[in-house]
Chains A and B, each alone.
Chain A
Amino acid sequence: MVYRAHILISGDAACIAKGARDVEAALWEAVQELNLKDEVQILEVSSLGHSDQGPEIVIYPDGTDYVNLTPEDAKFIIEEHLLKGRPVERLTYREPPSLPLPPPSEKEVRVVLENVGKIDPENIEDYIAMDGYMALGKVLGEMTPEEVIEELKISGLRGRGGAGFPTWLKWTLARNAPGDMKYVICNGDEGDPGAFMNRSVLEGDPHSVIEGMAIAAYAIGASQGYFYVRAEYPIAIQTLRAAIKQARDYGLLGEHIFGADFSFDLEVRMGAGAFVCGEETALMQSIEGARGMPRTRPPYPATAGLWGNPTNINNVETYANVPKIIHKGGSWFASMGTDKSKGTKTFAIAGKVERTGLIEVPLGMTIREIVYDVGGGVLGGKKFKAVQTGGPMGGCIPEQYLDLPVDYEHLKEVGSMMGSGGFVVMDEDTCMVDIARFFMEFTQDESCGKCVPCRVGTRRMLEILNRICAGEGRPGDIETLEELAVYIRDGSLCGLGQGAPNPVLSTLQYFRDEYEAHIYDKTCPAKVCKGLIEYKINPEACIGCTRCARNCPVNAIEGKPKQTHVIDADICIRCGVCKQVCPVDAVYVE
């Protein structure tokens, strides 16, 4: 059937959280009512790009983008746009006016995200129409496992989960490991703060990951695969299960795929809320039904993984790259990126930037280009202070490295790491001691408890940081932090413990003066730490409107109407409400 128009509706979790399901129902209803169902097709796709303004729909052929929709809007759009042919101006997406910059797409190169938001993830034919499963056909029909691995070697693809281990080498190790039963696992336990690229790929283009896993299975000689996806991603799990079923129905999973002597099937396993399960040995423990605690390596999973059998484990983004590499050739992939870091990488830009969200750029792009050209600059035109990469085990990179190329090597050199692609921008209003404390809270909470240095050490570091932020820092605190950091790093088994001190070490390296200001001068330069700030009212600006006194939750503000108000610092809990409500900006922080 040929449709006159296609409506794509974003089924991204952020849009669903804001009511996309109701909007979709309203669209269906209106299409039925107006007898348009033979002319108009409604497709649920993944993110359409402006999830922060969801629910969002795009109507083709003209590509009109509608955002912030309610069910009533949806009905109105069907009537106006599709029946009467008049786009509804007031509901269309507009670029924020403060951005005279080139659209982000000019600097972006989409490989992994190419299909996300363009195809219906619930329909395998959409994927096949985009050359999907062609790479698997090519591999099974024309290539030996060695040739597949060789192609990956040419491509230079490295693990996208964080550590950046060469993928071809991992596959070779698993291939050469003795054993009849081998497994491939997809690590979808994406838990790094702010990194949601795997969710987007699983929700928007699940077949690319399935195809990548099947190719890996062929290369290493496995016939069974597992998807391990965190339980916090129910939509991704649902999409994935549907995709696996469709692939089975089409003979792309199961026995004798493409008539070749190759059988492969997949199972989805759900996590149950434990960050450390993203660590590969912990993840396998969890699949086996145990507490997800890491174990010593070696032996590596490639020789003794799931149930003691040789296992290849890669993350979602790594697998999603594989079909593209086979299809377009390893040298095409290697033409992007830097000397040692090839291809593209997805990043989730968050924090204090104008445009937050998911991007994909060639490796080696500088921090400045990512923040200013792709991210649209620091929010509200404030001053850039640092960017945090690599998740809770990563580090903060200061302004002096704005022109640093973002790849595995360079990030490591400055004390951070790639991680899974979190990219949190901080401005001058961010207190770096508070940020370090915040990450320590996280790792302290997520430590599985197996290694004493990690379990107890992170707690001790957190206590010191809490004291410093409360204004009770003591001389010697910085040195103790540094000492503990070394013990924890050297005495922990897995990446979580080894990386836990990183946020403190990197902020100490680049923002030591802020720590010193907290400890010795008892001030918080960014005016964030409550123990070290005081709210005051400028008597010259105050107009005596009483608004602050009326809104103060603890009645700490005194003053008669039309007279200057005063804050009692002993009662004040530093909640900041007075500053928010003051109409003349008379309240300031000292």
Chain B
Amino acid sequence: MEERMMHQVDETVARYGSTDEALVEILRDLSQQAGYLDRPTLAAVAKKLAVPESRVFSVASFYSMISVEPLGKHVIRMCQDAPCHVAGGRKIWETLEQALGIQFGQTTSDGQWTLMPTSCIGLCAVGPVMMIDDEVFGNLTPEKVNEILARYREQDGGAA
């Protein structure tokens, strides 16, 4: 496990170069590969770049696309911007919270879902919009949201 992590860190650092300035990109890439960055990973990056761990943590915790906490199997990012809001975003927001039983920023206790807001993803013509992992869903209604969630649950074998 640890070896695999070290290998990932080595490879990613090699790709972006072991300089200070590559820190944001290295962390974002690692976070996307592993789901989130745990303390040993952050420490390994710090060591590789020869910068203090505190600096690595401060950068990692600043950006919303880098996570320092475990995320659910699926990450839902719901657009929190005005065009989606005017198009009925708040209802979608509430539907998601109700359906998953968590609030934005939280992960379900079974580790299946993380609910996060995101800033505009530039698809305002089809708002309200949300992303589940890498897939984008537009023109959302509460019914559609429930359908989509059901589809994911089915794919996951009805476990969640």
Contacts and interface: CB of A to CB of B under 8 A. Distances in A.
B62 to A, nearest CB: 4
B20 A289 contact: yes
A467 interface: no
A196 B63 contact: no
Interface in B121-146: 121-127, 135-139, 142
21 contacts: A14-B126, A17-B123, A18-B138, A190-B122, A193-B82, A193-B85, A231-B65, A269-B24, A270-B24, A289-B23, A289-B24, A290-B24, A348-B124, A350-B83, A350-B127, A351-B86, A351-B87, A388-B82, A435-B82, A442-B119, A575-B91
A576 B142 CA distance: 11
Interface in B24-61: 24-25, 27-28, 55, 58-59
A496 to B, nearest CB: 12
Nearest to B136: A17
A422 B85 CA distance: 14
A576 B119 CA distance: 27
A290 B62 CA distance: 9
Contacts of B63: 271-274, 292
Nearest to A356: B125
A194 interface: yes
A401 B150 CA distance: 47
B81 A13 contact: no
A477 interface: no
Contacts of B72: none
Contacts of A272: 24-25, 27-28, 63-66
A20 to B, nearest CB: 12
A287 interface: yes
B123 A273 contact: no
A461 B126 CA distance: 31
Nearest to A195: B120
B125 A357 contact: yes
Contact of B21 (A18, A231, A287, A291): A287
B114 interface: no
Contact of B137 (A17, A192, A348, A425): A17
Nearest to B20: A289
Contact of B125 (A52, A273, A445, A576): A52
A575 B146 CA distance: 15
A288 B122 contact: no
Interface centre among B27, B81, B82, B119 (most CB of A within 10 A): B82
Contacts of A369: none
B80 interface: yes
B5 interface: no
Contact of A288 (B21, B28, B64, B84): B21
Given A232-B118, A445-B117, A196 B24 contact: no
Nearest to A16: B136
B56 to A, nearest CB: 10
Contacts of A535: none
